[in-house]
Structure 1
């Protein structure tokens, strides 16, 4: 038999004595690697930094500069910032980063503080009056169908915005049977089962600016996009405002363009402040969420029906995949008992409704 020399046996097959040198070197290398490997509190510094940044955005969003509309843009989509929390948590767990997990407590707590109350159903039975609002869309291909759907909603008071001259007659015809009282001022209107009085337009300083070329001629001809009226109810007079504030757009050079919307919001806030009726409802497409600083003049004196009596966020735009609630029902002096979003129509917005009581 041929004898094979190996590193372990040596010449002639005799086992070499184990000096431990190789084992010792291996242990040293492993110890060095273990010592140089960051611990769980030092892993994932980038993830931890991003978590802190996210928390600060949620905490200090009102202090973000509004130059170029940045602050308004952030506040419009503020609820969606919560989606970054599970993404960062997944990364933190994968990296086994204790520091990143702990840092995520800041955005998690802030998001729940801002929006946690919206997650549950706050509606309750009862109510004296049902109000609804819908941006029917100036490009709506089926105004007759939209009108029938809205009439079937059971609303006692129905506000429509973005009415065009071509579609106005269709809405008046289709809604006449359900709503014997109505008024249209420019591109906004109110249909009611109850008598109306003291109706007048409200000047909200409309300016289409760089959007002028995108609007139909009949829409551009009228700058009346808000009205005020009194609805006679069994519980007493109710002051109702219907408004469609200016659009917002993202332009490469101008950023998030909100000039017209912001001027309109200020003028509308002044009108609501001057309102003498103790009970007031504002229905409209305000092109902003209740978190948007541009609407602070309004939201500081009125409450959101969705925020107090809704179920979830109640997003309304765009209708195909809603990402923001810009269609609002705001109240003062009355109690919202329930608030909900109605099914889609031919518009790019979803209708909203609320049940209110005295």
Structure 2
């Protein structure tokens, strides 16, 4: 039987088999129609090229943007991944302007962005794990704390941390979570619920004057782990001072010192840090621990604001254990999304 060939019209009067890549070539010809012989393609688009270079420099040198004025360094690092949206915009504008200079310049920020965040685009989620943990800033103004508690308990987490617990709502959370968690402790406005026994529960001083961080030893079947729950102070935008985070930064340093002094090998940190892993102001914490989302998640795992997540400020971080998977949980009555992770405590196998 003769092999049938798919035919397509050629530039001539006949027809022939469509060769691989011919569609791409036709699309390229359409986009670049009129470019041949146009000497202006290198002169046009200089402004776009400059903007592309500036974008690349901001992403490449973000650690050198000073925090002295309105904490701009931390602000840029908090929303750094979103700068990548400017790349396709510049690309389209370069095509519209028919500027070879602009199109070549756009390659630089694209490469820098992929170098910084390309690894987060791959799915690193694994299976298994000895322990599932979750954390949720439940929002002090949550209109339905009981439903929120039941929703996060239904995730199956053996350890659940809650932040921003108003004293008036604590009994509601305790009642709703009691069927799932036999053990729990609340320190100030943060709490930890566990299916395993807890000892050595104590407040962690993060230099606020009131309690928003705690530590407990949890006796898991694989042995004891130190669990920290923390809610860093909110970052504020002030009319005259701009984007300020001095109080948050001081608290982060204090939390980092406490974790550095931890005697147990295996450590899990759960909480709302009011900052991303890129934020230099959290270095005292992030330099010691691994992000489960970065190590075993899929995508960026943005958690705030819940209505349109733009940043991952709710963190699960570990030391001495292996992250297996990490993800966000469905929205509750809070302005944050809950986040969860599975980790492997037994690292001997």
TM-score, with structure 1 as normaliser: 0.85
C-alpha distance in 2, partners of 1:257/1:65? 13
Matching residue of 2:80:
78
Q: Matches of residues 44-63 of structure 1 in structure 2 within 5 Å?
A: 44-63=45-64
Structure-to-structure mapping, 1:239-278, within 5 angstroms: 239-278=226-265
Equivalences for residues 135-150 of structure 1 within 5 A:
135-150=137-152
Inter-partner Cα distance in structure 2 for 1:296 and 1:96: 44
Equivalent residue, structure 2, for 1:288: 275
Q: In the aligned structure 2, how far is the partner of 1:327 from the partner of 1:354?
A: 12
Aligned to 1:10: none
Task: For residue 207 of structure 2, give the secondary structure of its aligned residue in structure 1.
Answer: coil
Q: Counterparts of 1:1-358 in structure 2 under 5 Å?
A: 39-67=40-68, 68-206=70-208, 223-358=210-345
Q: How far did 1:185 drift?
A: 0.3
Question: Which secondary structure does the structure 2 equivalent of 1:321 belong to?
Answer: coil
TM-score, normalised by the number of residues in structure 2: 0.87
CA–CA distance in 2 between the matches of 1:199 and 1:165? 18
Question: Could you report, residue by residue, the CA deviation over 1:175-220 in whole angstroms, capped at 9, with x for unpaired residues?
Answer: 111101000000000000000011110011127xxxxxxxxxxxxx
Deviation at 1:255, TM superposition (A): 0.5
SS at match of 1:71: helix
Deviations 1:281-335 (A, max 9, x none): 0000000000000111111110100001111111111111111000000000100
- Tell me, in whole angstroms, the C-alpha distance in 1 between the residues paired with 2:84 and 2:343: 31
**Aligned mates of 2:318, 2:111 — CA distance in 1:** 29
In 2, distance between residues paired with 1:294 and 1:330?
A: 16
> Which has the larger Rg?
1
Distance 1:58 1:183 in 2: 42
Secondary structure of the structure 1 residue equivalent to 2:276: coil
Q: List per-residue Cα deviations over 1:145-181 (Å, max 9, x = no partner).
A: 0011011110000000000011000000111111010
Question: Aligned partners of 1:82 and 1:249: how far apart in 2?
Answer: 25
More helix per residue? 1
Moved over 2 A (4+): none
| Cα distance in 1 between the residues matched to 2:220 and 2:134 | 16
Deviation of 1:38 after TM superposition, in Å, equals: 5.6
Distance in 2 (alpha carbons) for counterparts of 1:202 and 1:240: 11
Deviation string for 1:62-116 (max 9, x for gaps)? Answer: 0001121100100000000000000000111111111111111111111111111
Partner of 2:35: none
